[in-house]
Chain A
Amino acid sequence: MARSVLALVLAGSLLGLTATAFAAGESSHETPQPPRQKWSFSGPFGHYDRGQLQRGFKVYKEVCAVCHGMKYVAFRNLTALGYSEGQVKAIAAEYKVQDGPNDQGEMFERDGRPADYFPTPWKNENAARAQYNGVPPDFSVLAKARGYERGFPWFIFDIFTQFQEHGVDYIHALMVGYKEKAPAGFALPQGSYYNDYFPGHAIAMPPPLSDKRVDYSDGSPTTVDQYAKDVTAFMMWAAEPHMEIRKRIGFQVMIFLLVLAGLLYFAKKKVWADAH
C-alpha cells in the first residue's frame, strides 16, 4: 500500500512539475485564431455548392489570377463546377497557352484547350519576386497548404467532429483581415500591408478584394466577405476535387464495415461458445 502511494506521489509530482513548465512555456498568442465559418462541404455528407464554386471561379479569374497561377488544375476539370463541355471550351479559349515547337522549330501561342492547365501569370519565381515583392503561391493545393494550430484539447475533438477546414477558415480570415493602418508601435516594412491573421502581420499582398469589384449574376451580395467565402470554397475544390466522392464512398465503406464487424462478432461468439 505504501508503495502504491509512493508511485502516486511520484506521478503527481511529475505532473505538477511539467504543468508548471508548460505554463511558463505558453507564449502569448500574437496571431488570433481565424473565426470558424460555415462551409457546405464540411462534415461527412459535405457537398460543394456549384453556384458558390462558379462565383469563386469568377473572383479567381478576374482578381486573383492576375498574380496567382493554378498549374495543377486543368480547364477540363471545370465541368465539376457545373459548366458544360462547350462552356469549358469557351473558357479555355480565353487563355493563351504556349505550344510547340512547330514544323519550323518555333514555340508559338495558341488558344487554350480543355486538356490544358491554368497558366501561371509570371515566367519564373525570380521574375515574380522582382515584380510582386514575393512569389504569389500557386492556388492548386493552397487550401490544404494553410492552417493553424487548434491546440489541446480541440485537436482531439477534431478527429470526431471531422473538422478539416483549417485552411479555408484561415484564407477567408486573411481576405477580410486587412487593416488600413498598422497598430501603433508596429513597424510595418516598406511594401507590406497589415493583416490581423497573417503570421507576423506584414503581408506582401495588397488587399485584393473590395466591395463591388466582381459582378455576380445570381444576386449574391457583392461584398468582400462574400467574395472571400466564394473564392475560398473554389480553392478548396481546386485542392480536393474528389472530396464529394471520397465522402460518399466513405459512408458506404462505413456501413459495410459495421455490417461485417457485426456479423464477425456473432460468428466469433458462436465459434467460442464451443470452447467454453
Chain B
Amino acid sequence: MSGHSTYQPQSAFMKWMERRLPIAGLMYSSFVAYPTPRNLNYWWTFGGVLTFLLGAQIVTGIILVMHYTPHADMAFNSVEHIMRDVNYGWLLRYLHSNGASMFFVAVYIHMARGMYYGSYKEPREVLWILGVILYLLMMATGFLGYTLPWGQMSFWGATVITNFFSAIPLVGESVVTWLWGGYSVGNPTLQRFFSLHYLLPFVIVGVVVLHVWALHVVGQNNPTGVEPKTDKDTVAFTPYATIKDGFFMACFCIVYAWFVFYVPNYLGHADNYIPANPAVTPQHIVPEWYYLPFYAILRAIPDKLMGVIALFGSIGILAFLPWLDTSRVRSANYRPLFRQFFWIFILVTVGLGWLGSKPAEGGYTIAARILTIYYFAHFIIILPILGWVEKTKPLPNSISEAILKSSGVSSAAPTATKS
C-alpha cells in the first residue's frame, strides 16, 4: 500500500473516480504491481487460501443463519431442518462445518511456515502479533460456532470452556454466571453465543485488513530470509503470485471437497448428533481437533487455575516469539540446529493433540506433562539459547543469487515446457 502507484486510469470514468476515491489505484498497487519475492514456495500460498476460506465461511454462514433458529428448544431441530429440507442445506452446512476445520488446517500450516522461516522477526513483529490475534479470534469463533447445533458436545463443550473462567480467584463464579446468563449453560448462553459467532468473523475481517496492511508495509519474507534488494529479486503480485495462489487453492479445494462430500462427519463427533441433555455428560468429552494440543496442556496440569493459565499461556507465548528467538538469521534453511528443533516442536504439538483426544488418566497424563514441559521449554529455553550458540550457514547476498545457485538443477524444467 505504497500510496501513489504506477496505476494509470484508462477510461474517462476511472480518471474521474481516481481523483475522488483512488480505490482502483490502491487495489492496483496492493494486488497487481505489489512486488513479491520471486523465490516464494508453495508454503506462501496459505495466506490466499485463508482469505478464500474466510470468505467462504462468511457466505455459507450468512446463508445458514437464514434457516437456523438460535433457541435451546429449536436449534437442534433447525439444523436437522437444514440437513433434510432446505435446498442444498446439507451441502451448505457441511461446507461450513468442514470449512472451519480446513480454516484451522490452513492457519496451522501458515503459522508453521512463519515459524520455520522466521517471518516474525524484525521488522515483522506487528504483522506476527496481528496473526496471533487473528488465531485467537478464530479459536473463539470456532468454539462459539460449535455450540450452535446444540448437541451433546456443543452443550458440554460450552460448559467446560466457560468453566475455565471459574478458575479466576474471587470473581470466577460470578464471571461464569455472567457469561452464561443463568446458573448453567442454557438458552441465554446459546443466544449470546450465536450473536457473537456472527459478530467475530467481521472482527476477523477487520484484523485481516490490518494484517495485510502490515504485510504490504514490510513486504513478504521469503525462504532465504534475505530482504529483496533489487527489482531482480521480485516479481509482480499479478499475474505471478495470483496464478500460483489460484493453482494451489484449487488443490486445497480438492482436500476440502473430499471431506465435505465423502467424509463430512469425520472431523466432527458422533455425540453431537445427540440433542443437548443437561442431565448427562458424554462419557468421553473432547473438543474439536484443532484445540486438542491446548486441551492436553490444560489437563496435564493438576491445578485448576494453573491449568487454565498454562492453556492461555501456551497461545499467548506465541506473541512474544519475535523476542524469544534471539537469532538474527531468519530462515531455518540456514539454521541447521534450529531446523531440527523446529520439527521436534511440530512433533511435540501433534503428540499433544493426540493426547488431548485420549482420556486424562495414567500414562497419558504423564506423557502430556512431559510434552507440555517441552512445549514451553521450546520457547523459553531452547529458542533463546539456540540464537547464541548456533553456528548458522552463510546467507546468500541476494534472492537472485540464491536462485542462480540452485538453478543448475531446476532451470531445466521451465524451459522444457516452452516448446
Q: Give me the interface of A with B, judged by CB distance under 8 Å.
A: 3-4, 7-8, 10-11, 14, 17-18, 20-27, 44, 72, 77, 137, 140-142, 144-147, 152, 158-159, 162, 164, 166-167, 199, 239, 241-242, 246-247, 249-251, 253-254, 257-258, 260-261, 264-273, 275-276
Contact = CB atoms under 8 A, between A and B. Distances in A.
Nearest to B275: A138
A210 B16 CA distance: 83
Given A24-B366, A272-B240, 14 more contacts: A3-B390, A21-B367, A27-B359, A27-B362, A145-B270, A145-B274, A241-B84, A250-B257, A253-B257, A257-B257, A268-B243, A271-B239, A271-B240, A275-B38
Contacts of A241: 84
Nearest to A141: B273
Contact of A152 (B235, B258, B354, B371): B354
Contacts of B250: 257, 260-261, 264
B243 A257 contact: no
A166 B270 contact: yes
Contacts of B254: 254, 257-258, 261
Interface string B207-236: 000000000000000000000000000010
Given A162-B263, A246-B91, A271-B239, A147 B362 contact: no
Given A159-B266, A276-B414, A271 B358 contact: no
B314 to A, nearest CB: 17
Contacts of A18: 351, 367, 370-371
B411 A276 contact: yes
A17 B373 CA distance: 13
Contact of A250 (B261, B273, B366): B261
14 contacts: A4-B336, A7-B344, A14-B370, A14-B374, A21-B363, A21-B370, A22-B364, A137-B274, A253-B261, A267-B247, A269-B417, A272-B414, A273-B414, A275-B235
B228 to A, nearest CB: 14
A261 B270 contact: no
B342 to A, nearest CB: 10
Contact of B273 (A17, A27, A145, A276): A145
B80 A140 contact: yes
A11 B351 contact: no
B264 interface: yes
Given A24-B362, A246-B90, A11 B340 contact: yes
Contact of B264 (A77, A246, A266): A246
Contacts of B371: 14, 18
B340 A20 contact: no
A272 B413 CA distance: 11
B270 A7 contact: no
Does more than half of chain B's interface fall in helix, strand or loop, or is it mixed?
Answer: helix
10 closest cross-chain pairs (CB), A and B:
A250-B261, A25-B363, A24-B363, A21-B367, A145-B273, A264-B247, A261-B250, A147-B270, A25-B364, A21-B363
A254 B358 CA distance: 34
B358 A269 contact: no
A167 B359 CA distance: 21
Contact of A264 (B38, B243, B257, B390): B243
A158 B263 contact: yes
Interface string B336-372: 1100110010011001001000110111111100110
Nearest to B254: A257
B271 interface: yes
A164 B270 CA distance: 11
Given A20-B363, A145-B273, A72 B257 contact: no
A146 B344 contact: no
Contacts of A21: 363-364, 366-367, 370
Contact of B80 (A25, A141, A142, A246): A141
A183 to B, nearest CB: 22
Given A4-B336, A10-B344, A253-B257, A144 B270 contact: yes
Contacts of A3: 337, 389-390
A145 B273 CA distance: 5
B251 interface: yes
A22 B258 CA distance: 32
A133 to B, nearest CB: 15
Given A4-B337, A246-B261, A254-B257, A25 B361 contact: yes
B341 A7 contact: yes
Interface in B295-346: 336-337, 340-341, 344
B390 A273 contact: no
A14 B263 CA distance: 34
Contacts of A140: 80
Contacts of A249: 91, 261
A250 to B, nearest CB: 3
